[in-house]
Amino acid sequence: MTKSDRITAVYADEKGNILDAPGLTGMGRTGRENVRLTPEDLIPLPESADLMLLPDHLAVGMSGEGEVLPIRGMAVAAILPAGYTRLYLPAYERQEGAARLPLYGYTAVVVYRDELYCAAVYTDENDKWDPAHYNTKELKKLVRRTKKDLPGNRIVEQVGGCSLKWHCCTAQNLFYRRWECGIPTSPVCNANCFGCISLQPAECCPSPQERIRFRPTPEEIAEVGIYHLSVAPDGIISFGQGCEGEPSLAADNIAAGIRLIRAKTGKGQINMNSNAGWTEGIRKIVDAGLDSLRVSIISARDEGYDAYYRANYHLEQVRSSIRYALDHGVYVSLNLLYFPGFNDREEELAAWQNFFRELPVQMIQVRNLNIDPDAFLDIMPKPAGKTVGTRAFLETLHKEFPQLVIGSFSHYVEG
């Protein structure tokens, strides 16, 4: 093996400079275990990835004798763009008293072949979500244009802020008049997800966006929906955004809005992102003309599901909602919140196999769970079996369920 073919650990000094650690092999983390990485685990760091430092988390590497050694420097993580699924977390030793990490999807980074590489696989190719298409110079002007076209519409005001302050791509698509556009509707939720990105207790990590504080009327919903679906290529409107709670709790307004939209245009696709815990609300929205449903889920086992969602419903209600949607011709995908060392445990994989035998959903969107790794594992069930690895997890599901699309994005569904 040449020097450039070695996988070398990286760390950050007190000034934030990212350095390699010659003589120490780069490692990743699965669950709570730091493991040695192989070339098969690595891809070049994507151009649109960001690097993040982990304060009070020491980087580690493996010596030539196989000993795991801490490095006098912070661990470094990659934050991957959509479409990439991480295989390993960054390897580290958490120092006593370390603050909880913000809500990001931390991925292992190393030096390989004299370049930065990360432990990930490319799960889905979709140019529509390339960062180059967003946050362009003309965005502010486009936001003003739509506000002029739809004066006084509170949804437009909300997603305008989401576009310019929080840089939400789904929000921006309304103003670019294209693809998938978010229509937030619900300020409340029936779950208390440990990693909620729109609402966190004050003593926890900060949320990366602000939750909507009003309840849009059916007319406001329809006005935005008609506006977007009438002009957008591959147009999708989506209820259930990061800046809101659970959309099915606004079922009456959403269902009425859908009917108003479909009275004016049959174009495009109407989608909802939901935890699917309130089946009565799901039924109302499906009956109104929903085309696709993406269900947020982390586990097919009651113990794992309840530990994360901390909801006033249970997995059985989610199953009932999915069954109703499938039986009524709705395209159903799962937004699988993925964490290496949890989802790929033997007991989790077996539960997913049973789940898909019962409920033949069309797609899994694998999403890197944005969470502090230790805080997450502290609340989740202890392992009952070994981890099979992310690649084996996905390959096993694809082999048994070849019709199951495994990707990262909502796909435009032809009617």
Total residues belonging to the chain: 415
CA-nearest of 153, 160, 154 to 174 is 160
Sorted by sequence, the CB contacts under 8 Å of residue 357 that are 6+ apart come out as none
Evaluate if residue 200 carries a pLDDT over 60. Answer: no
pLDDT category at 124 given cuts 50, 70, 90 is confident
Q: Kindly state the average pLDDT of the residues 138-165.
A: 96
pLDDT: which is higher, 409 or 383: 383
- pLDDT mean across residues, the chain: 93
Q: Kindly state the average pLDDT of the residues 310-329.
A: 97
Question: What pLDDT, on the 0 to 100 scale, is given for residue 199?
Answer: 53
Buried b / exposed e across 62-90, counting CB within 10 Å, b at 16+? beeeeebbbbebbbbbbbbebbbbbbbbb
Q: Kindly state the average pLDDT of the residues 335-348.
A: 98
Q: Kindly state the average pLDDT of the residues 44-53.
A: 94
Evaluate if residue 201 carries a pLDDT over 50. Answer: no
Question: What pLDDT, on the 0 to 100 scale, is given for residue 1?
Answer: 47
Q: Kindly state the average pLDDT of the residues 272-301.
A: 98
Question: What pLDDT, on the 0 to 100 scale, is given for residue 241?
Answer: 86
Q: What is the pTM of this model?
A: 0.92
Evaluate if residue 71 carries a pLDDT over 90. Answer: yes
Question: What pLDDT, on the 0 to 100 scale, is given for residue 69?
Answer: 96
375 class by beta-carbon count within 10 Å (0-12 exposed, 13-18 middle, 19+ buried): middle
- Proportion of the chain above pLDDT 90, given as a percent: 86
- H or E segment at 146? helix 139-149
pLDDT category at 207 given cuts 50, 70, 90 is very low
Domains and CATH numbers, the chain: 3-122 (no CATH), 128-407 (3.20.20.70)
pLDDT: which is higher, 374 or 200: 374
Evaluate if residue 125 carries a pLDDT over 80. Answer: no
Q: Kindly state the average pLDDT of the residues 180-185.
A: 96
Question: What pLDDT, on the 0 to 100 scale, is given for residue 2?
Answer: 54
pLDDT category at 202 given cuts 50, 70, 90 is very low
Give pLDDT tens digits for 12-47: 999 999 999 999 999 999 999 999 999 999 999 999
Question: What pLDDT, on the 0 to 100 scale, is given for residue 197?
Answer: 62
Cα–Cα distance between 201 and 207 in angstroms, integer? 9
**Residues 167, 135: contact at Cβ < 8 Å?**
yes
Question: What pLDDT, on the 0 to 100 scale, is given for residue 205?
Answer: 43
Give pLDDT tens digits for 208-249: 456 789 899 999 999 999 999 999 999 999 999 878 999 999
**Residues 264, 229: contact at Cβ < 8 Å?**
no
Question: What pLDDT, on the 0 to 100 scale, is given for residue 196?
Answer: 78
Strand partners, 296: 335
- H or E segment at 245? none
CA angle 314, 316, 319 (to 5 degrees): 120
Residue ranges with strand state E in 66-200: 68-79, 84-86, 89-90, 92-94, 106-112, 115-122, 180-182
